[in-house]
Amino acid sequence: MAQSETVKTQSSGGLGVLGVLTIIFIVLKLTGNIDWSWLWVLSPIWLPFAVILSAGVLIFLFVLIYVGINRIFNSGSSSR
* pLDDT, tens digit (0-9, with 9 covering 90-100), for 8-30: 777 667 889 999 999 999 999 99
Q: Is residue 9 within a helix (H) or strand (E), and if so which, with residue range?
A: none
* pLDDT, tens digit (0-9, with 9 covering 90-100), for 22-70: 999 999 999 999 999 999 999 999 999 999 999 999 999 999 999 998 8
The CA-atom distances, in angstroms, between 3 and each of 6, 7, 8, 9, 51 are 9, 13, 16, 19, 46
Residue 78, pLDDT score: 56
Dmax (CA) for the chain in angstroms is 73
